[in-house]
Amino acid sequence: MSKMIAPVDQTQAWAVACAAYRLNGNEYFKVGQVPQGKKTNQELAREIMANQDMLTTEDREQGQQVRDYISKVVTVATLKGTLDSWGQEMARVSQLDEVETSYDLHVIVSLPQTYARYLERERVHERLNQTSTDYVARIGDKLELDVEVLENKWSQKWATYYVTVVDTENRAWYFAHRKSLNKGVQYTIRGTVKRDRKSTRLNSSHIPLSRMPSSA
Protein backbone atom coordinates (compact mmCIF):
# COMPACT_ATOMS: atom_id res chain seq x y z
CA MET A 1 0.00 0.00 0.00
CA SER A 2 1.30 3.45 -0.89
CA LYS A 3 2.59 5.55 1.99
CA MET A 4 0.40 8.50 2.95
CA ILE A 5 1.99 11.95 2.96
CA ALA A 6 0.83 15.36 4.07
CA PRO A 7 -1.54 16.57 1.31
CA VAL A 8 0.24 18.60 -1.36
CA ASP A 9 -1.60 20.97 -3.67
CA GLN A 10 -1.40 19.78 -7.28
CA THR A 11 0.23 23.05 -8.36
CA GLN A 12 3.07 22.46 -5.93
CA ALA A 13 3.43 18.77 -6.78
CA TRP A 14 3.80 19.40 -10.52
CA ALA A 15 6.17 22.33 -9.89
CA VAL A 16 8.33 20.08 -7.70
CA ALA A 17 8.41 17.47 -10.46
CA CYS A 18 9.60 20.03 -13.00
CA ALA A 19 12.17 21.45 -10.59
CA ALA A 20 13.65 17.98 -9.99
CA TYR A 21 13.77 17.40 -13.75
CA ARG A 22 15.49 20.77 -14.27
CA LEU A 23 18.04 20.18 -11.51
CA ASN A 24 18.94 16.83 -13.06
CA GLY A 25 19.74 18.49 -16.37
CA ASN A 26 16.37 17.65 -17.93
CA GLU A 27 16.87 13.97 -17.22
CA TYR A 28 14.92 11.44 -15.17
CA PHE A 29 17.00 9.16 -12.95
CA LYS A 30 15.53 6.37 -10.87
CA VAL A 31 17.04 3.98 -8.35
CA GLY A 32 19.72 1.81 -9.94
CA GLN A 33 20.20 4.13 -12.90
CA VAL A 34 21.76 7.18 -11.29
CA PRO A 35 25.07 8.50 -12.70
CA GLN A 36 27.81 9.23 -10.20
CA GLY A 37 27.31 12.57 -8.50
CA LYS A 38 23.59 12.68 -9.31
CA LYS A 39 20.45 11.95 -7.31
CA THR A 40 17.22 10.30 -8.30
CA ASN A 41 14.44 12.67 -9.26
CA GLN A 42 12.47 11.29 -6.34
CA GLU A 43 15.26 12.25 -3.91
CA LEU A 44 15.42 15.73 -5.39
CA ALA A 45 11.65 16.04 -5.14
CA ARG A 46 11.78 15.29 -1.41
CA GLU A 47 14.51 17.90 -0.93
CA ILE A 48 12.51 20.49 -2.85
CA MET A 49 9.39 19.70 -0.83
CA ALA A 50 11.40 20.46 2.30
CA ASN A 51 12.89 23.64 0.84
CA GLN A 52 10.42 25.57 -1.28
CA ASP A 53 13.07 28.19 -2.06
CA MET A 54 14.43 25.73 -4.63
CA LEU A 55 11.30 26.28 -6.74
CA THR A 56 11.24 28.97 -9.42
CA THR A 57 8.38 30.75 -11.14
CA GLU A 58 9.32 28.86 -14.29
CA ASP A 59 8.98 25.54 -12.43
CA ARG A 60 5.43 26.44 -11.41
CA GLU A 61 4.48 27.55 -14.91
CA GLN A 62 6.09 24.48 -16.47
CA GLY A 63 4.33 22.23 -13.99
CA GLN A 64 0.93 23.41 -15.15
CA GLN A 65 1.95 23.10 -18.79
CA VAL A 66 3.00 19.50 -18.21
CA ARG A 67 -0.19 18.69 -16.31
CA ASP A 68 -2.43 20.26 -18.95
CA TYR A 69 -0.58 18.52 -21.77
CA ILE A 70 -0.70 15.11 -20.09
CA SER A 71 -4.41 15.60 -19.43
CA LYS A 72 -4.99 16.39 -23.11
CA VAL A 73 -2.97 13.39 -24.30
CA VAL A 74 -4.81 10.90 -22.11
CA THR A 75 -8.18 12.40 -23.06
CA VAL A 76 -7.41 11.86 -26.75
CA ALA A 77 -6.19 8.32 -26.05
CA THR A 78 -9.37 7.58 -24.10
CA LEU A 79 -11.56 8.77 -26.97
CA LYS A 80 -9.56 6.60 -29.39
CA GLY A 81 -9.74 3.59 -27.10
CA THR A 82 -5.95 3.33 -26.92
CA LEU A 83 -5.37 4.25 -23.27
CA ASP A 84 -3.15 1.63 -21.61
CA SER A 85 -2.62 0.98 -17.89
CA TRP A 86 0.14 3.58 -17.59
CA GLY A 87 -2.04 6.07 -19.43
CA GLN A 88 -4.75 5.41 -16.88
CA GLU A 89 -2.33 6.30 -14.09
CA MET A 90 -1.34 9.50 -15.91
CA ALA A 91 -5.02 10.36 -16.35
CA ARG A 92 -5.74 9.76 -12.68
CA VAL A 93 -2.92 11.88 -11.26
CA SER A 94 -3.55 14.69 -13.75
CA GLN A 95 -7.04 15.08 -12.26
CA LEU A 96 -5.96 15.24 -8.62
CA ASP A 97 -6.49 18.50 -6.75
CA GLU A 98 -4.26 17.27 -3.92
CA VAL A 99 -1.56 14.62 -3.84
CA GLU A 100 -1.86 12.46 -0.74
CA THR A 101 0.34 9.40 -1.35
CA SER A 102 4.02 8.91 -2.10
CA TYR A 103 3.06 6.75 -5.09
CA ASP A 104 1.06 9.52 -6.74
CA LEU A 105 3.90 11.97 -6.17
CA HIS A 106 6.29 9.40 -7.65
CA VAL A 107 4.16 9.16 -10.80
CA ILE A 108 3.97 12.94 -11.18
CA VAL A 109 7.73 13.33 -10.72
CA SER A 110 8.29 10.97 -13.67
CA LEU A 111 6.01 12.89 -16.05
CA PRO A 112 8.16 15.87 -17.10
CA GLN A 113 10.31 13.38 -19.01
CA THR A 114 7.19 11.87 -20.58
CA TYR A 115 6.09 15.37 -21.59
CA ALA A 116 9.49 16.06 -23.18
CA ARG A 117 9.30 12.81 -25.15
CA TYR A 118 5.84 13.65 -26.44
CA LEU A 119 7.04 17.06 -27.60
CA GLU A 120 10.05 15.50 -29.33
CA ARG A 121 7.80 12.99 -31.06
CA GLU A 122 5.59 15.82 -32.30
CA ARG A 123 8.65 17.66 -33.60
CA VAL A 124 9.84 14.61 -35.53
CA HIS A 125 6.40 13.95 -37.01
CA GLU A 126 6.07 17.58 -38.06
CA ARG A 127 9.48 17.45 -39.76
CA LEU A 128 8.62 14.21 -41.55
CA ASN A 129 5.37 15.73 -42.75
CA GLN A 130 7.48 18.33 -44.55
CA THR A 131 9.65 15.84 -46.42
CA SER A 132 9.35 15.10 -50.12
CA THR A 133 7.14 12.18 -51.19
CA ASP A 134 7.96 12.39 -54.89
CA TYR A 135 11.04 10.16 -54.85
CA VAL A 136 10.69 6.37 -54.80
CA ALA A 137 13.93 4.39 -54.65
CA ARG A 138 14.30 1.07 -56.41
CA ILE A 139 15.29 -2.11 -54.65
CA GLY A 140 19.00 -2.67 -55.15
CA ASP A 141 19.85 1.01 -55.64
CA LYS A 142 23.20 1.85 -54.04
CA LEU A 143 23.14 5.22 -52.37
CA GLU A 144 25.44 7.66 -50.64
CA LEU A 145 23.59 10.37 -48.76
CA ASP A 146 24.35 13.27 -46.47
CA VAL A 147 21.70 13.14 -43.76
CA GLU A 148 20.62 14.65 -40.47
CA VAL A 149 19.44 12.38 -37.66
CA LEU A 150 15.89 13.00 -36.46
CA GLU A 151 15.36 10.17 -33.98
CA ASN A 152 16.48 6.77 -32.74
CA LYS A 153 14.05 4.07 -31.66
CA TRP A 154 15.24 1.03 -29.77
CA SER A 155 13.70 -2.31 -30.80
CA GLN A 156 13.74 -4.77 -27.93
CA LYS A 157 12.61 -7.54 -30.29
CA TRP A 158 15.49 -7.08 -32.73
CA ALA A 159 18.02 -5.62 -30.25
CA THR A 160 18.85 -2.72 -32.54
CA TYR A 161 18.12 0.95 -33.09
CA TYR A 162 16.00 2.17 -35.95
CA VAL A 163 17.31 5.56 -37.03
CA THR A 164 15.21 8.09 -38.94
CA VAL A 165 17.07 10.68 -41.02
CA VAL A 166 16.41 13.37 -43.63
CA ASP A 167 18.81 13.92 -46.53
CA THR A 168 19.85 17.15 -48.27
CA GLU A 169 17.07 16.71 -50.83
CA ASN A 170 14.48 16.64 -48.05
CA ARG A 171 13.82 12.90 -48.34
CA ALA A 172 13.24 10.76 -45.27
CA TRP A 173 14.89 7.38 -44.66
CA TYR A 174 15.24 4.87 -41.86
CA PHE A 175 17.65 2.03 -41.20
CA ALA A 176 18.78 -0.31 -38.47
CA HIS A 177 21.95 0.46 -36.53
CA ARG A 178 23.63 -1.14 -33.54
CA LYS A 179 24.17 2.22 -31.83
CA SER A 180 22.09 5.30 -31.19
CA LEU A 181 23.21 8.25 -33.34
CA ASN A 182 23.28 11.83 -32.10
CA LYS A 183 20.10 13.70 -32.98
CA GLY A 184 20.64 16.83 -35.06
CA VAL A 185 24.11 15.66 -36.17
CA GLN A 186 24.90 15.17 -39.86
CA TYR A 187 26.36 11.93 -41.20
CA THR A 188 27.32 10.50 -44.57
CA ILE A 189 25.67 7.13 -45.04
CA ARG A 190 26.09 4.48 -47.71
CA GLY A 191 23.85 1.54 -48.37
CA THR A 192 21.70 -0.55 -50.65
CA VAL A 193 17.94 -0.19 -50.77
CA LYS A 194 16.42 -3.39 -49.41
CA ARG A 195 12.77 -2.60 -49.71
CA ASP A 196 10.61 -0.15 -51.60
CA ARG A 197 7.43 0.76 -49.78
CA LYS A 198 5.35 3.56 -51.26
CA SER A 199 3.10 5.63 -49.01
CA THR A 200 1.62 9.09 -49.10
CA ARG A 201 3.94 10.69 -46.60
CA LEU A 202 6.80 8.59 -45.37
CA ASN A 203 7.57 6.47 -48.38
CA SER A 204 11.32 7.11 -48.29
CA SER A 205 11.55 6.63 -44.54
CA HIS A 206 10.49 3.01 -45.04
CA ILE A 207 13.55 2.14 -47.13
CA PRO A 208 16.24 0.60 -44.90
CA LEU A 209 19.88 0.94 -45.87
CA SER A 210 22.04 -2.14 -45.62
CA ARG A 211 25.23 -0.41 -44.49
CA MET A 212 25.54 1.81 -41.51
CA PRO A 213 26.52 5.49 -41.38
CA SER A 214 29.88 6.91 -40.50
CA SER A 215 30.46 10.37 -39.07
CA ALA A 216 30.94 13.10 -41.61
Task: Encode pLDDT of 66-93 as tens digits.
Answer: 999 999 999 999 999 999 999 999 999 9
Q: How far is CA 61 from CA 66, 85, 100, 104, in A?
A: 9, 28, 22, 20
H or E stretch covering 161: strand 160-167
Domain boundaries, the chain: 4-128, 142-215
State residue 42's pLDDT score.
96
| The amino acid at 30 | K
Least confidently predicted of 34-38, 139-143, 145-149: 139-143
End-to-end CA distance of the chain: 53
Statement: the pTM of the whole predicted model exceeds 0.85: no
State residue 130's pLDDT score.
93
In 15-137, DSSP assigns E strands to 98-101
State residue 213's pLDDT score.
40
Least confidently predicted of 2-11, 31-40, 72-81: 2-11
Average pLDDT over residues 172-187: 88
**Selection from 51, 52, 59 nearest residue 26 by Cα:** 59
- Write down the mean pLDDT value for the chain: 87
Least confidently predicted of 8-22, 114-128, 181-195: 181-195
Q: How far is CA 15 from the centre of its chain?
A: 20
Q: How far is CA 213 from CA 51, 135, 147, 159, in A?
A: 48, 21, 9, 18
The 3-class secondary structure across 122-155, one letter per residue, is HHHHHHHHCCCCCCCCCCCCEEEEEEEEEEEEEE
In 87-128, DSSP assigns E strands to 98-101
Decide: 24 and 41 in contact? Cβ < 8 Å.
Answer: yes
Cα 112 to Cα 151: distance, rounded to the nearest angstrom: 19
| The amino acid at 95 | Q
